[in-house]
Homo-oligomer: A and B are copies of this chain.
Amino acid sequence: LGITIKDVAKRVGVTPATVSMVINNKPRISEATRNRVLEAIRELDYYPHAGARNLVLKRTSTIGVAASFFTYPFILEILTGIELELRQTEYNMVLFGTRGLAKTEDSVIHSIARERKVDGLITITLDLKENQVEDFRKNNLSIVALERDYKGVDCVVVNNEKGAFDATRHLAQLGHKRIGLVNGLVGHPGSDERQRGYERAILESGLILDKAYWRHIDNFSRKEGFEAAQDLMSVSQAPTAIFVAAGDLAALGVIQALGRMGKRVPEDVSVVGYDDIPLSEMLEPGLTTVRQPMQQIGAQAFKQLLSSIKEGTNHQPFKMVYDAELIVRQSTGPCTH
């Protein structure tokens, strides 16, 4: 029950080593024995034991993908991109969900590094600590960070500053003067970049920065977006447009809150989202948003990880920056006030 290389060897009358060489296409095997081995393999329906092979080869043919949650569409799209590339190789992927808990994240990352269950790791929107990066380096494990730019770590990121700038300028060009912002928490790398893009666009458009129009949310959820919009629209001189830098799901919440308040999109208030998740084009009105090339990011990350695994972890840190692209749909229109 579970046939091994020995069984094959015995059947053909050679040693396991010979069979091994046939399997791995090593040259110095005569056609004759090669064929006999191949035949025996077929007859016995033999498959090499992946684990045993990995042990001696000192690799696992597995990569890890770590993220806080895998249910957010943005993460899923990246996952899809990874999988598309992965499928071309002999690699498998195992998922590590940290559930947003710092503790589990710490222990998860640490045990990944030490138990050597994977050859490399892709992190998505995860805040690595210095010593965690060090853990990986010590163990010669490759790592690629997505949406985060650590010094000395390979990464694939999006130009968030430009994406946010384009979105905000788009609203300004439509004549909006009071442009609200729903963003992630202050201090988070991606959020801060988007904040800068927003501010630059506001200033370059000759408008004034007003914190009263800014809201910060934690989980990029629809619910938070809903609440932020309610809050935002209750200030005197409410905004006529809202840039929801905290993702399309939150933007959906904003739109729903506006609807609940009797405001129409885009006639009364324009809304721009961020990410361009599949849902966004399904909505009515279609959501104007900043597209991140998520599948490409995932695919690129995997390619980079692979080459890092092959070439070892002592290479120049690799950094790939993708441009975010403004996709104009029906949720934005000229200012009517």
0/1 interface trace, chain A 108-123, chain B, CB 8 Å (1 if under):
0001001111000000
0/1 interface trace, chain A 57-87, chain B, CB 8 Å (1 if under):
0001010000000110000110110010001
Q: What interface size band does chain A fall in? A: 35 or more
Tell me the minimal C-beta distance from A42 to chain B in angstroms.
Answer: 13
A100 in contact (CB, < 8 A): no
CB-CB contacts below 8 Å: A82-103 with B: 83, 87, 92-97, 99
Chain B residues lying within 8 Å of A62, measured Cβ to Cβ, are 94
Given the known inter-chain contacts A139-B1, A222-B282, please indicate yes or no for A115 contacting B47, CB distance below 8 A: yes
Chain B residues lying within 8 Å of A138, measured Cβ to Cβ, are 1
**Cα A92 to Cα B94 with chains together (Å):** 7
Chain B residues lying within 8 Å of A279, measured Cβ to Cβ, are 279
**Cα A139 to Cα B87 with chains together (Å):** 24
Identify A70's interface contact among B80, B87, B140, CB under 8 A. B80
**Cα A208 to Cα B71 with chains together (Å):** 42
A43 in contact (CB, < 8 A): no
A51 in contact (CB, < 8 A): yes
Contact status B51-A140, CB under 8 Å: no
A50 in contact (CB, < 8 A): yes
Contact status A70-B76, CB under 8 Å: yes
0/1 interface trace, chain A 29-50, chain B, CB 8 Å (1 if under):
0000000000000000101111
0/1 interface trace, chain A 256-288, chain B, CB 8 Å (1 if under):
100100000000000000000011001010000
Residue of B nearest to A139 (CB): B2
Chain B residues lying within 8 Å of A1, measured Cβ to Cβ, are 138-140
A229 in contact (CB, < 8 A): no
CB-CB contacts below 8 Å: A298-327 with B: none
Chain B residues lying within 8 Å of A87, measured Cβ to Cβ, are 97, 99
A19 in contact (CB, < 8 A): no
Chain B residues lying within 8 Å of A52, measured Cβ to Cβ, are 55
**Cα A47 to Cα B141 with chains together (Å):** 15
